[in-house]
Structure 1
Amino acid sequence: MAWYVDTHCHLDLFPGIQQRVAEQDAAPIKTISVTNAPVLWRPNQQLFRSCRNIRLALGLHPELAGQRSNEVALFEALSTETKYIGEIGLDGTTTNQWERDTQLRVLRGAAAALRASPAKILTVHSRRAAAETIQELAIGLADTPHQVILHWYSGNLTELRRAVELGFYFSVNHTMLASKSAAALLKAIPRSRLLTETDAPFTFSAAVPDRLTSLRATVKMLSQQWAMGEQECLSLVWDNFSELLRATQ
């Protein structure tokens, strides 16, 4: 059976999530729910402790690096408790050099914390900082078994090809695929390296009010781009996710 795959969402930010955990876990979706700071790990761990289809990722979001840089040591301590890491990375939307320097220090600290650990799956933020993020991961994770997913990739084709050479995966959502640059990016991403995400709840709208609707829309858009049936497209993404899991066993 091919499941829908959501490799990047923020379930802990859903309104009323305390009463909706069972509902989210019962959806036909294999899920990686990211966290934005190490201090949120324990509350999330408690919230999703009984889930079968939701896995929790340990993160330190780059947009929070300036406020949370003192949690790198906590990130390192907690990283032994999970196979999934995210959301981490760099964000180039800020023009504040101190914030950018702090983001870089935090990412390097996270990479250093993971160097000697068993294989993990990382979902990585690289908005307006693709080249630098890819380079930092290439150096910081060199010769490790970790698998990287570039979440909502928005860099150029040169940077994308470098990430492909490094064996990175790419996760896409329905909002991303509606952009003008989506077709060119999809042509450059090997189909074997393509995964789906929702980045929910940030991509929700009146037309797309839940994760299943989002993922169905994404699969439909991919199937149109690739000129294949939706079920075949769904199976392809599921096979890619299954391969990712095997690579980190």
Structure 2
Amino acid sequence: MVDTHCHLDMLPQKDIVESVKTLDYLLTIGCDKEEIKKGIELGNKYENVFVAIGYHPYDVGDLTDGDIEELERLAKENPKVIAIGECGLDFYRDKTLKEKQEYFFKKQIELAKKLRKPLIIHSRSADRETEKVLSQYDPFENGGIMHCFGGDERLMEFSLEAGFYISFAGNITYPKADNLRNILKKVPLDRLLLETDSPFLSPQKVRGTQNKPSNIYYTLEFASELLGIEKNKLERITDENFKRLFSLS
């Protein structure tokens, strides 16, 4: 089983060790300067941990173009870095100026295309704005992931056409998440991924506790019942999708 998106550096060591032993692959995300450093260290420490590095929209306030140049250097020098991101737009809390979010979103898109790496996208309360930015760079020959998908059906369809995979987290199990479940049913199986986004968004069965990558199995079980697909089969499908996207044998 693969956890397509987690923040290992935020977890207790015991949860890291358990998850590394339990799962085949984990993609840990560094989305500010400190997390990027820790993510690369974890990738170098554990054979089955890979790394995405980038800047979350909430963390671009103090960025400069020099930070993007440093991101490029780190991506080139560290083989375990297999993606750029998470990056994108988040207008849910308006923590950072929209113009600055968009500027550094574009910079990271350009970097991912330059390095020919997949792009990990964060989009919240910004469906049309995300679509508008991405349309300027379409197509995405190396693909990417719409992480923890929470947009509408139009964004899902646009993302698929642009070359992205759609990843769902534990919040699909929440009682009020009918909209997410309806979109999940419409995603082609060959573009579907699952993630924990741990330590956030624990699945309903363990909601109220800190999430960890090994909880991916709760989300897998829920999605298999929702889609009417045998659990082991859905696991194989999502795992193969991840390996295909990142060219992992």
Alignment TM-score, normalising by the size of structure 2: 0.85
Give the unaligned 5+ runs of structure 2. Answer: none
Distance 2:179 2:113 in 1: 34
- Change in Cα spacing, 1:5 to 1:133, as seen in structure 2 (3 Å) is same
- Change in Cα spacing, 1:113 to 1:28, as seen in structure 2 (3 Å) is closer
Look up the equivalent residue of 2:216 and give its one-letter code: L
Aligned equivalent of 2:11: 14
- Change in Cα spacing, 1:76 to 1:36, as seen in structure 2 (3 Å) is same
Aligned equivalent of 1:67: 62
Match 1:49 to one of 29, 44, 58:
44
Aligned equivalent of 1:90: 89
Aligned equivalent of 2:184: 186
Runs of 4 or more consecutive aligned structure 1 residues displaced over 4 Å after TM superposition = none
Contact 1:92 1:100 in 2 (8 A): yes
Aligned equivalent of 2:21: 26
- Change in Cα spacing, 1:20 to 1:158, as seen in structure 2 (3 Å) is closer
Look up the equivalent residue of 1:225 and give its one-letter code: L
Say whether 1:110 aligns with 2:108: yes
Q: Secondary structure at the match of 2:246?
A: helix
- Change in Cα spacing, 1:191 to 1:62, as seen in structure 2 (3 Å) is same
Aligned equivalent of 1:172: 168
Aligned equivalent of 1:101: 99
Contact 1:21 1:48 in 2 (8 A): no
Q: Secondary structure at the match of 2:68?
A: helix
Match 2:152 to one of 152, 156, 160:
156
Distance 1:49 1:86 in 2: 18
Distance 2:55 2:9 in 1: 14
Give the unaligned 5+ runs of structure 1. Answer: none
Look up the equivalent residue of 2:83 and give its one-letter code: Y
Distance 2:220 2:148 in 1: 15
Q: CA deviation at 1:201?
A: 0.2
Contact 1:131 1:155 in 2 (8 A): no
